[in-house]
Chains A and B, each alone.
Chain A
């Protein structure tokens, strides 16, 4: 099936999974929202979602994930739950222009519980007038609640499309700070930049000075822009790091355009071969067995 909008896709997936009564409630609520411009209905139905629909995993099939990408490039709802899908669906059903949508979203976020915040931020790539929600996304990145942060940062194309470089760099650094993985960040490699590489190396030095471990994923965004001292840092990891750290340093060096990087890597033939044979990947480093 092709040509579905995100809202149509959400409705189809939800209706296929919900018992009759819950599906009917959802469709009725959406219908009411389409017909009215009162905010109160929206606030109430969005709040009621978990009571009506539950919080089980949405658990999309591969074909349905394909529908998601077709409906909105980069959209990856594989980790969504039923309540999150239903809440975003209701927001989209209420429709409206970007300004009204954004005002309602601010209102909803101001009185949201944790589950609602996660749903609203996961929905970012689907909202009208995408540029309007940059401050909202930045607010989500500022949170101290890991689940909310990850709703913005993980499997969400919005940050890489809309965040300016300083905000992007803060998001990546914050992911490391709070122990969130980098691998699920959409556009991580594409948006690597020299300023971020420097920030990450500084952070690694802080951690080393404090005798604390450094996530091997950190080096992924350093490699493509590694120069001078940064190469020396990678050399240090190659020499002294744990297994996963050395694998990460080797991968990072292989992504550097600097000829000196190749020189460093060749000093470790086993790692060199593992890299060229694709035996090491950032996905595997992010998800150790």
Chain B
């Protein structure tokens, strides 16, 4: 079984993680632009960060046979620094059309301040202007009403719900998100938000339509193998293989694939020019093995422990 982790902050992770992810069957990831754990003070550090998302990190992932996509946006926490936010908004258009940018994101609310609202709306306008998808970070505090508000404003600004991913859902928010036609993403965190046991029950109750999961792994305690581990648990608990495949791979591809930037052939059958320039992974369909070094023993070990 192949997996996509449609929300993971690889800039904060090590090469051990990349090796274990590849070994566990993760073929593609989406890295949303977000904050670094402490607020940036200069637009220049924002520029360098976004350049690394479309440059270095994309290259780094490719060395492990993983396809890297990203979303570009001003996150809700840093939107509260208005002087910085203005400058970031000015440079965002330079990045939205880069290769591998699948959406404007992750944007939305944190404290639900008026300034957050202003820049959430401004970026929804950008998404409309550039005909892009949107990836919404829903607030951790006051989640239920914050999620409702995120969707209200997206619709008010003219977004088609089918082109908006609402992330970090839980049992309280999922029904409304699905009813309104948005994509419902769930973050599987080891100790907070959704645990993978809870996710199994959600899959049992809601099925797989418009639902997918991610790790949101970052610089905090988090698990870059959350998607394959949850897939294993789902299968063990009797969720059908078709539903598991949709929740852990197919639906993320359907949602972000609407951008035209993310295609299954990128990992199943990479173009020769990409393989020469960037991508070191296996070409599954052609059965080639261009990988330079063997994955280390630890990766094979984790492969066995995570997913058979």
Residues of A bordering B, CB below 8 Å: 43-44, 47-48, 50-51, 55-57, 79, 81, 110-118, 144-145, 147, 179
Contacts and interface: CB of A to CB of B under 8 A. Distances in A.
A145 B99 contact: no
B278 interface: yes
A147 B91 contact: no
Q: Chain B: interface residue count, which band?
A: 20 to 34
A110 B97 contact: no
A147 B95 CA distance: 21
A226 B78 CA distance: 59
Contacts of B137: none
B51 A111 contact: yes
Contacts of B277: 114-115, 118, 147
The CB with the most chain A CB atoms within 10 A, among B54, B93, B94, B277, is that of B277
B220 interface: no
Contact of B55 (A44, A48, A117, A179): A117
- The main secondary structure of chain B at its interface with chain A is helix
A110 B51 contact: yes
B267 to A, nearest CB: 16
Interface of B: 47, 50-51, 54-56, 58-59, 91, 93-95, 97-100, 260, 271-274, 276-278, 292
B97 A47 contact: yes
B133 to A, nearest CB: 15
Nearest to B94: A111
Nearest to B51: A111
A110 B56 contact: no
Contacts of A111: 47, 50-51, 91, 94-95
Given A44-B97, A47-B98, A114 B58 contact: yes
Contact of A50 (B58, B94, B99): B99
A145 B55 contact: yes
A51 B96 CA distance: 12
Given A57-B272, A57-B273, A144 B56 contact: yes
A254 to B, nearest CB: 32
Nearest to A118: B277
B51 to A, nearest CB: 6
B94 A47 contact: yes
B55 A113 contact: yes
Given A44-B97, A47-B97, A114 B55 contact: yes
- The listed residue with most A CB atoms (<10 A of its CB), out of B56, B91, B97, is B97
A160 B90 CA distance: 39
A51 B59 contact: no
Given A114-B55, A118-B277, 19 more contacts: A47-B98, A56-B273, A57-B272, A79-B276, A81-B273, A110-B51, A111-B50, A111-B94, A111-B95, A113-B54, A113-B58, A114-B58, A114-B59, A114-B99, A114-B278, A115-B99, A144-B56, A145-B55, A147-B276
